[in-house]
Amino acid sequence: MTTQLRARRSCMAVPGSNQKFIDKARTLPVDQFFLDLEDACAPLAKPGARKTIVAALNEGGWGDKLRVVRVNDWTTEWTYRDVTEVVEGAGANLDAIMLPKVQTAEQVVALDLLMTQIEKATGLEVGRIGIEAQIENALGLINVNAIATASPRVETIIFGPADFMASINMKSLVVGEQPPGYDVGDAYHHILMSILMAARAHDKQAIDGPYLQIKDVDGYRRVAGRAAALGFDGKWVLHPGQIEAANEVFSPSQADYDHAENILDAYDWFTSEAGGKRGAAMLGDEMIDEASRKMALVISGKGRAAGMTRGERWTPPTD
Ligand code: GLV
Ligand code: MG
């Protein structure tokens, strides 16, 4: 399955030091979870959390959820031990390492090299474990294109709004909402689009970060809806109450999914010998061509990754 086809609509943050939350996360219908060694894990709890995380990954019970661990960023003293303990201890049961506060391509290369060493030393398949790069400050955003291409392991580019807002001195404490005083558009548009362009240019997934007002599910849905409308693939969830909204907002509607699959079938037929080798043709009242096929592929890819099943099917004309 290629990167693009692994659903990451809902990505659940789980503190790596909290066994209760880890056990709960196993039961939740998220596409991905990440066990956190960074900001949801107090400095004194980090050494113990590494062990808890290794045990939790090796115990299994995660179904087909993507299994990710967020390590600490390279400016701390914790990163190498986070990576070494987790990959050595549970590399076979891990899909990706999330690297926060990435600022340069070199930081991704450094992580790749360390992971490669561990894989070689322990007999793991080299390169299987991916990297998720979090963009959380101005330098990271400026370098996002180089970060996306720094290693073939990079699977996602993630927006970290809380750290980002702090790092650029944005005058607001409410993550995801517009800063008071800015009333001429969406203050996040440039950031989201820069991340999305880097992701799309290099076949990575673009993921939106957390929404902290966990009781405000309508607010979550609104902010997630904006990212989804632009083309993002998923968003973090911090609480079980946000999961349904994430899975729904980042899946195509049933009507759009059926329509996309029908465009693919119809275009396939119209361009064939039997269909008259046509490059442009009518599907009902709509003209479809190669560009329609490309748009349909995006919707159908997301629907298939989300496990959707088709409703009414288009069939070739019989006369
Ligand atoms: C997530 O890590 C954030 O800073 O928003
Ligand atoms: Mg952060």
Task: Looking at the structure, tell me whether residues 260 and 204 fall in a common domain.
Answer: no
Does 222 reside within a domain?
A: yes
Percent of the chain's residues with pLDDT above 70? 98
Residue 33 lies in a domain: yes
Angle in degrees, CA 133, 73, 41, rounded to 5? 105
261 assigned to some structural domain: yes
- Kindly report the CATH number assigned to the domain that includes residue 76: 3.20.20.60
Task: Work out the angle between the directed axes of helices 46-59 and 79-90 (0-180°, nearest 10).
Answer: 20
Distance 50 CA to ligand 2 centre (A): 19
pLDDT in tens, 72-88: 999 999 999 999 999 99
Best substitution site from 68, 163, 177 to test ligand 1's pocket, by max atoms within 8 Å of Cβ?
163
Considering the domain architecture, whether residues 68 and 194 belong to the same structural domain is answered as yes
Residue 80 sits in the same domain as residue 218: yes
- Which atom of ligand 1 is found nearest the CA of 100? 2
Q: What is the pLDDT of residue 3?
A: 47
Q: Which of 13, 20, 79, 17 is nearest to 44 (CA)?
A: 17
Identify the residue whose C-alpha is closest to ligand 1 atom 2: 160
- Are 111 and 237 in the same domain? yes
Q: Which secondary-structure segment (H or E) carries 58?
A: helix 46-59
pLDDT in tens, 295-305: 999 899 889 88
Residues 236 and 280 in one domain: no
Same domain assignment for residues 157 and 291 = no
Distance from residue 163's CA to the centre of ligand 1 (Å): 5
Q: What is the pLDDT of residue 173?
A: 85
Closest atom of ligand 1 relative to the 209 alpha carbon = 5
Amino acid (1-letter code) at residue 205: Q
CA 136 to centroid of ligand 2, rounded, Å: 6
Token output for 72: 């600490």
d(CA 94, CA 66): 8
Q: Indicate whether 288 and 202 sit together in one domain.
A: no
186 belongs to a structural domain:
yes
Same domain, residue pair 87 and 139: yes
> SS3 breakdown of the chain: % helix, strand, coil, rounded to 5?
45, 15, 40
Same domain for 135 and 59: yes
319 belongs to a structural domain: no
Residue nearest atom 1 of ligand 1, based on CA coordinates: 160
Considering its fold, how many domains does the chain have in total?
A: 2
CA of 165 to the centre of ligand 1 (A): 9
Does ligand 1 come within 6 angstroms of the Cβ of 252?
no
Domain identity same for 185 and 223: yes
Q: Which residues contact 33 (CB under 8 A, 6 or more apart)?
A: 11, 12, 13, 14, 25, 62, 65, 66, 67, 68
Which of 185, 218, 249 terminates a domain? The answer is: 249
> Domain range spanning residue 101?
10-249
User: What is d(CA 72, CA 100) in angstroms, rounded to the nearest whole number?
Assistant: 7
Q: Are residues 118 and 229 in the same domain?
A: yes
Q: Which amino acid is at 272?
A: S
In a domain, 5, yes or no: no
CB-CB contact of 251 with 9 (8 Å): yes
Residues 262, 313 contacting (CB under 8 angstroms)? yes
pLDDT at 5: 58
What is the rounded CA–CA span in Å between residue 132 and residue 11? Answer: 12
Regions of the chain where pLDDT drops below 70: 1-5
Judge contact between 243 and 232, C-beta under 8 A: no
- Whether residue 312 is contained in a domain is answered as no
Q: Which residues pair with 11 in a beta bridge?
A: 32, 236
- The finding on whether 36 has its CB within 6 A of some atom of ligand 1 is no
Nearest atom in ligand 1 to the alpha carbon of residue 236 is 1
- Residue 202, token pair as written in the block: 């290099």
pLDDT of the residue at 275:
93
